[in-house]
Amino acid sequence: MMTSSRRGKFEALKRGVLALGLVRPGSLVRRFMPCGNPACRCMGRPPQLHGPYHQWTHKIAGKTKTVRLSAQQARLCREWSSNHRKLKRLLHQMELLSLKETDRILGARSVHKGTGK
Ligand SMILES: [Zn+2]
């Protein structure tokens, strides 16, 4: 059985996961870019670049996928991305806590050496 303080923490972590909304892995980037027109202000000295452009990048099976987003879409993604970081943090804490607790349980049921049982 879990110690009561660890059980309380574990339950709180689970509630944290349940409270999360949508999660979106990847990262949001804001970029300023030239358009390529040599007469444009973006090619001047100093250059006045266009933007910000919002992009979402995410690695899938080793390939980086990039999606362009409107400012409104970027705001949504920011929230989902923040949820994703929270989820990872919660899962990590659940793992650490579970590791300690399962170590304790295994230790309590350790095999007695030399008894043959
Ligand atoms: Zn330009």
Cα of 33 from ligand 1 centre, angstroms: 8
- Structure tokens that stand for 38 in this block: 């040599």
Task: Compute the distance from residue 31 Cα to the ligand 1 centre, in Å.
Answer: 14
What is the whole-number distance in angstroms between the Cα of residue 49 and the centre of ligand 1?
Answer: 7
Residue of higher predicted confidence among 83 and 116:
83
CA of 47 to the centre of ligand 1 (A): 9
In DSSP terms, 53 is beta-bridged to 31
Report CA(102)–ligand 1 centroid distance (Å): 60
pTM here? 0.75
pLDDT, tens digit, 9 for 90 and up, residues 10-65:
999 999 999 999 999 999 999 999 998 999 999 998 999 999 999 999 998 999 99
